[in-house]
Structure 1
Amino acid sequence: MTRTSLNGHAPRTGSSVVTAESPRTRPDDREIDRGQLELQDRYALRRVQGLSTELRDVTEVEYRSLRLERVVLIGVWTSGTQQDADNSLFELKQLAETAGALVLEGLTQRRSKPDPATYVGSGKAAELRDIVESTGADTVICDGELTPGQLRQLEDVVKVKVIDRTALILDIFAQHARSREGKAQVELAQLTYLLPRLRGWGEALSRQTGTSGGGNGGVGLRGPGETKLETDRRRINTRMAKLRRQLAHMAVARDVKRERRRTRQVPAVAIAGYTNAGKSSLLNRLTGAGVLVEDALFATLEPTVRRARTPDGRLFTLSDTVGFVRHLPHQLVEAFRSTLEEVTDADLILHVVDGSHPDPEQQIASVREVFAEIGASDIPELIVVNKVDAAEETLLKQLRTKHPDAVEVSARTGEGIQELLQAIAGALPELGCEVSVLLPYERGDLVSRVHQEGRIISEQYTDEGTVLSAWVPQELAGQLDRYGVAVR
């Protein structure tokens, strides 16, 4: 087993699981052909350096030794470049630390596909066990979704708890959920994930209730024949059905508010993108919403809707949504479908991209996969490259070439915000009618609606009332008709 360097140095291959020394030269090494050496290197574990969590001082060491789990990360690299594999494991490290773990080691293995039994193969699983023992880890986190069989067999080998990427993301969501709806959505996703992975521990969980010694148990002693495992499954299914009913009721209030915005013809703009791309910071910069901003993955779970205006005064709504991530668990997409409707019902999607990330194109592709899954691929999209103050110029040039219509901003410094508002104004749906109207002063409500929903061309105050020329939605133009509206 070997380990890999991610700090820019050439990877060093070792025959030992724990060390990164060059392999010892043996007399028969010369007789091994080159293809066999390449095969050995392909199936070796590669250590990823720079993944261990840095501790700042003694106080933090004492705190984390009490609060954090000690984890080893393991990933199987099946396609793409080595940099892609390293980026994926670095993201897994961020996820683990967001969940409150202390990362001790990170390793990858090059395979055509994960081993169907133990994810990394039986021999490499044994080497992984040695690494776990030498580092004192109590948890192994796999960079992928494991089948129930892989989970059980890998745990049997490494002798510590094993979780996969999906379980880790679900745990982060459970920590960050605050509202009643958010907690219900996360619990439903967790139960959906847990159901096929239930297993009995010991003889007690495998016994059938109501029976005795052997046979049927005799008259009056015949039970339903339901094992403890089956009882757990039944209870989970009952709980999931209750959660779905609760979420359906909770969605009604959001539907009412959304329908009210549709009736008033207020355009809806959804801020979507990769987790930790700066979506909440951008919402705060555009609207002063005061939404929680944290340098952590999945800091935002509940959608926040705020009003904003284009430079020409047109009103629109901005909604902040949950961030996406590569291989976003399907259970989460299903559980958060009502929340993600803010994206599917939008007139425009602001696709926020982290310009400081080493692989922003991969993030864009991952987000668009989720768009396709929730049915939002046909909605107009405006790419917003955020964090340009911390981005490398080379990456920005690549993004400009591939996405010439993208807007570059910095939510932290305010750079590019005015250009973004201009771009939003140009991308919003066109207003259908141009009107010229004289509104009596007692109809200030209609004047207010023209200001809120339309785009003012000119406004004049006379003795009879307010003379307005504006572009307004068709529905509002119908209400203004009695006041001498001229529609062109």
Structure 2
Amino acid sequence: MHSTQAKIQKAVLVGVQLPRVTDAELKSSLDELARLVTTLGYEVVGRTSQRRSSTRTAAVLGDGKLRELSQWTGGSGDVASMVVKKKHKAALKFDSNKTSDELDEENEEFIEEDEISEEETTDSEAPKERADVVIFDCDLSPSQLRNLESATGATVLDRTGVIIEIFSRHARTRAARLQVEIARLTYVAPRLRETGGGEDRGGGGVGGKGAGETSIELDRRKIRDRIKELKNELGAIGQEHLTRRSRRQQENCVALVGYTNAGKSSLMRAMTGSEVLVADKLFATLDTTVRAIHPETRPKILLSDTVGFIKKLPHDLVASFKSTLDEALNASLLLYVVDSSDPSFRSQLEVTKSVLGEVGVEDTPSFLILNKRDRLSAEESAALRKEFPDAIQLSTRNPQDLQDLRARLISFFEEDMVDEDIIVPYSIQGIIGEVRARLRVLSESYDEKGVKITARGSSEDFSRIRSKIQQALDDKE
């Protein structure tokens, strides 16, 4: 094994400050990218940024900034000025009749430069260590990736590529792995490059005519076939999830939603006593976990933990994880969990609401949970209480906070409940167990007719239980 395999790769981050993006927003976005990159296992050795009117130019950055970036990687700082296109033999024979000037004009593809008259560049750190990877805080097209790697001489990644790689490493269940693989292949397909021997395959087409497929066309077709196969597998799993979800439709379901690393899994673990994964990493949780609140309530309240969100979450991932996000769509109540110690939690909350809006979660009742209040000063806590008077401030390390949240959830579900009496004849078996499971028993008494139970629950549950009692009586006659 080579010793370089154990070496931690070093990365330099690049931000592009578009119009209407403030310095504070740019810094916050780069800080978040740094956390993503660290989660992936890279060491961030520097960052640089530049103000631009758009990110649609050939190399994203201007010439000066591109050369400055290349000082981190040891690259030339210049994009190859032309790409020579390969031609078939028939085309080459036709070209033999042309002048050299005409051929040069056809075979050169010049790189367009950014048409900005005045270019402002933010200060960047002086290179101290050599970077192996350049990571941009925006999406890059295949040609931009190629141009940037040509100029820097290093591997170039964009934000979407980093997020998809993190998802790939953290996916544990079969459903999560399938969803991530679909998103990864969708991302990779347009970015495939010729790896030598990219000539046309001969003998293609009907009757042996036609050029056939190039190797890259064949690879893309294989990817399309693989995506179709994965979607079919995911569809089968989706039916299993729908079956489980339909069984829970009569239950009171609460979904934890929020930004990645806001503390959802910690809250889930504290409220349910389940051994869910808790880690100080971005996207530690990709799989939906559903558990009953502990100690159990009557009626039972189920809590589900969902995948975290992030700014510029790739649309392919949102689409792939739609089945996971359906837990939020079918929940009776949403708990928007934010890290109240993070100054940017307000914008993170907007990102969460925006992504949920994409999958149709808009009108579901919700509570705002200002998590990690143990990291706030008394003044900061008071200010947040004034700004968000209806929010619930808590720390998962404080048992009283957890008890208060539990009482709040019980109170929410009991708002539409009614108190009624049910008489269960002594001759009927099994009904009392269901009453205790589905309803909150307030009192019990016994007389010659049977067990008289005063309980609190939904009208639907009372009707369902009375129907079972009547059915059991009819069967005995």
TM-score range, shorter chain: 0.7 to 0.9
Give the equivalent residue in structure 2 for 1:319.
304
Give the equivalent residue in structure 1 for 2:233.
246
Residues 77 and 109 of structure 1 are in contact (CA less than 8 Å); yes or no, is this contact kept in structure 2? yes
Give the equivalent residue in structure 2 for 1:163.
157
TM-score by length of 1: 0.79
Residues 298 and 438 of structure 2 are in contact (CA less than 8 Å); yes or no, is this contact kept in structure 1? no
> Any residues of structure 2 matched to 1:52-201 within 5 Å, and which?
66-78=6-18, 79-114=20-55, 116-133=57-74, 135-201=129-195
- Other structure's SS at 2:308 match: coil
Give the equivalent residue in structure 1 for 2:315.
330
Q: Equivalent pairs: percent with the same residue?
A: 38
- Other structure's SS at 1:114 match: coil
> Any residues of structure 2 matched to 1:50-449 within 5 Å, and which?
66-78=6-18, 79-114=20-55, 116-133=57-74, 135-202=129-196, 204-205=197-198, 207-210=199-202, 222=209, 225-262=212-249, 265-308=250-293, 313-393=298-378, 395-428=380-413, 430-431=415-416, 433-441=418-426, 443=428, 445-449=430-434
Give the equivalent residue in structure 2 for 1:40.
none
Inter-partner Cα distance in structure 2 for 1:164 and 1:458:
62
Give the equivalent residue in structure 1 for 2:87.
none
Residues 431 and 471 of structure 1 are in contact (CA less than 8 Å); yes or no, is this contact kept in structure 2? no
The alpha carbon displacement at 1:227 in A equals 1.0
Inter-partner Cα distance in structure 1 for 2:313 and 2:162:
11
The alpha carbon displacement at 1:397 in A equals 4.1
Inter-partner Cα distance in structure 1 for 2:304 and 2:372:
20
Cα deviations across residues 105-161 of structure 1 (Å, max 9, x unaligned)?
122223343352222223211210112235221111111111222222211211111
* Pair 1:75–1:436, CA change in 2 (3 A): same
Inter-partner Cα distance in structure 2 for 1:448 and 1:292:
33
Inter-partner Cα distance in structure 1 for 2:299 and 2:396:
22
Inter-partner Cα distance in structure 1 for 2:454 and 2:222:
63
Select between 345-354 and 76-85 the one with higher mean Cα deviation: 76-85
Residues 270 and 342 of structure 1 are in contact (CA less than 8 Å); yes or no, is this contact kept in structure 2? yes
The alpha carbon displacement at 1:451 in A equals 2.6
Inter-partner Cα distance in structure 2 for 1:391 and 1:158:
43
Give the equivalent residue in structure 2 for 1:37.
none
The alpha carbon displacement at 1:452 in A equals 2.7
| Length, aligned pairs only | 414
Residues 109 and 120 of structure 1 are in contact (CA less than 8 Å); yes or no, is this contact kept in structure 2? yes
* Pair 1:312–1:346, CA change in 2 (3 A): closer
The letter of the residue matching 1:75 is: G
Cα deviations across residues 177-210 of structure 1 (Å, max 9, x unaligned)?
11111111110010111122222244x12x1101
Give the equivalent residue in structure 1 for 2:440.
455
What are the ranges of 5 or more consecutive residues in structure 2 without an aligned counterpart?
A: 75-126, 471-477
Residues 118 and 154 of structure 1 are in contact (CA less than 8 Å); yes or no, is this contact kept in structure 2? yes
* Pair 1:114–1:181, CA change in 2 (3 A): same
The alpha carbon displacement at 1:416 in A equals 1.4
* Pair 1:267–1:443, CA change in 2 (3 A): farther
* Pair 1:479–1:358, CA change in 2 (3 A): closer
* Pair 1:436–1:354, CA change in 2 (3 A): same
Give the equivalent residue in structure 1 for 2:108.
none
Inter-partner Cα distance in structure 1 for 2:5 and 2:221:
38
Inter-partner Cα distance in structure 2 for 1:392 and 1:451:
44
Select between 151-160 and 452-461 the one with higher mean Cα deviation: 452-461
Inter-partner Cα distance in structure 2 for 1:398 and 1:196:
49
Residues 350 and 382 of structure 1 are in contact (CA less than 8 Å); yes or no, is this contact kept in structure 2? yes
Residues 251 and 302 of structure 2 are in contact (CA less than 8 Å); yes or no, is this contact kept in structure 1? yes
Inter-partner Cα distance in structure 1 for 2:30 and 2:273:
35
CA RMSD, 1 decimal: 2.6
* Pair 1:457–1:222, CA change in 2 (3 A): same
Cα deviations across residues 294-324 of structure 1 (Å, max 9, x unaligned)?
1111111111100126997431110111111
Residues 299 and 457 of structure 2 are in contact (CA less than 8 Å); yes or no, is this contact kept in structure 1? no
What are the ranges of 5 or more consecutive residues in structure 1 without an aligned counterpart?
A: 1-62
The alpha carbon displacement at 1:224 in A equals 5.0
The letter of the residue matching 1:241 is: K
The letter of the residue matching 1:154 is: L
* Pair 1:372–1:413, CA change in 2 (3 A): same
Inter-partner Cα distance in structure 1 for 2:171 and 2:12:
26
